Amino acid sequence: MSQTILHPLRTPLYERHRFNLARMAEVGDWSMPVAYGSQIEEHHTVREDAAIFDFSHMCVVDIHGVDARMFLRKLLANDIGKLRSPGKALYSCMLNMEGGVIDDVVVYYLDDECFRMVLNAHAASRDIEWILAQVVETKSSVTLVARREDMVRGDVEALAMIAVQGPNARERVFRAIPSTRAAGKVKPFNSIIVHDFAVGEMMLGRTGKTGEDGFEMIVLAKHAGQVWDMLRSAGISAAGLDAWETLRLEAGMHVNGLDMDPQTSPFDVGLGWSVDLGPERDFVGKAALQARRQDWQFVGLAFEGSAAVPRTQSPVMSLEGEMIGKVTSGTYSPTLRIAIALALLTPDIQVGSYVSVEVYNKRISAKVVRPPFVRNGSPVGEQ
């Protein structure tokens, strides 16, 4: 029986978003909730308390096989060999042969023959093609199993992803779903699999891109609605992707396709810390990465007064009018109450200096700062 594909695609929580009058928009190939009411209120709720997000458009891929660890050590710029305890997670870039960023991923170590990788939604199909090509190239004994609803095959069960983020997120999850209290001692960038009588297996990873504490919960898609209802019934507010965008920008977190792409290296975008160039391991793009120079530096821009929000690709110039870079993403910061942006500038520009950004045919002054803008709900330094 053929599978009916909806365009745009819908997550398992789509009907709940519509029932709760969420404002929906097409995000990539997906119909996603961008706000349930006030984006600003949703943003502040995450900074001050906790809220839940539907991230089921992200793609979970399980990598099985006796060569799984060895294969991932060759595939990723960070060294998966560092993961020795089940549940440990690793952030890494996946590079092309020229050392450019194909995607940034989080990988969880489940056991010696199974690792779980979370791919960005818009890049998932391209990523999987690339990974499969590397399986063939390296003649590795591994199998990729995509777990997103539009990709599952055979008797594989689809997974959904729900994030609960905010300073009170973990305690609120424990109250909403008592079986999750087993995750009480999980440290940041670690995960645990728990079993709940009502909804079966759940993986809770203490990860996220809002700059706040919390969990990213990977659950069976068929039970995602029930998990969502349990969290909502416990009084946890829902938030849309517009709030997530302002949160991640305040936290200085990257989005693939905006802040980095196959033309930029991890060093260009401030992710050198996620690259392991140790001599005992080779990986895709390593030689090119070692040979290329750093063309850019990844910085934040803080705008004064009531400046308009800069758009992606807005030109950045020195105060003398020389072109020195571009904005990669920008927003209004609800926490700081100013416009902010992430940008790629030439390496000689100093943090603390001022630059000029072209916004709607006007040049607006901005201060070069070091991301993040906000940490643990509070401004970082003087912006």
Say whether both 271 and 165 belong to one domain.
no
Question: Of 146, 174, 189, which residue sits at a domain end?
Answer: 146
d(CA 333, CA 142): 44
Say if residues 147 and 159 touch (Cβ distance below 8 Å).
Answer: yes
Percent of the chain with pLDDT strictly greater than 70:
97
Q: Do 164 and 41 belong to one domain?
A: yes
Q: Based on the domain organization, do 98 and 204 belong to the same domain?
A: no
Strand order across the 30-35 sheet: 9-10, 30-35, 23-27
Nearest to 134 by CA among 60, 68, 62, 66: 68
β partners of residue 33: 24
Range of the domain at 365: 254-379
* CATH number of the domain encompassing residue 323: 2.40.30.110
**DSSP letter for each residue of 145-183:** EE-STTT--TTPPPEEEEEEESTTHHHHHHHHSGGGGGG
Domain boundary among 231, 249, 267: 249
CATH code at position 140: 3.30.70.1400
Residues 87-91 have a mean pLDDT of: 98
Co-location of 141 and 160 in the same domain: no
Look at residue 352 in the predicted model and tell me its pLDDT: 97
Q: What is the pLDDT of residues 142-156, one digit of tens each?
A: 999 999 999 999 999
CA dist., res. 123 & res. 74, Å (int): 20
| Paired sense of beta strands 9-10 and 101-111, if any | unpaired
Shared-domain flag, residues 39 and 184: yes
Q: Which residues are annotated as a binding site?
A: 216
List residues forming the annotated binding site for substrate. Answer: 216
Residue 253 has pLDDT above 80, yes or no: yes
pLDDT in tens, 8-64: 999 999 999 999 999 999 998 999 999 999 999 999 999 999 999 999 999 999 999
Chosen domain end from 220, 249, 278: 249
Average pLDDT over residues 165-186: 97
Nearest to 115 by CA among 138, 147, 137: 147
Q: Please report, as a single letter, which amino acid is at residue 148.
A: R
Q: 329-340: per-residue pLDDT in tens? A: 999 999 999 999
> Is the same domain home to 97 and 234?
no
Assigned domain for 107 exists: yes
pLDDT over 90 at 5, yes or no: no
Residues 172 and 42 both lie in one domain: yes
Q: What is the pTM of this model?
A: 0.95
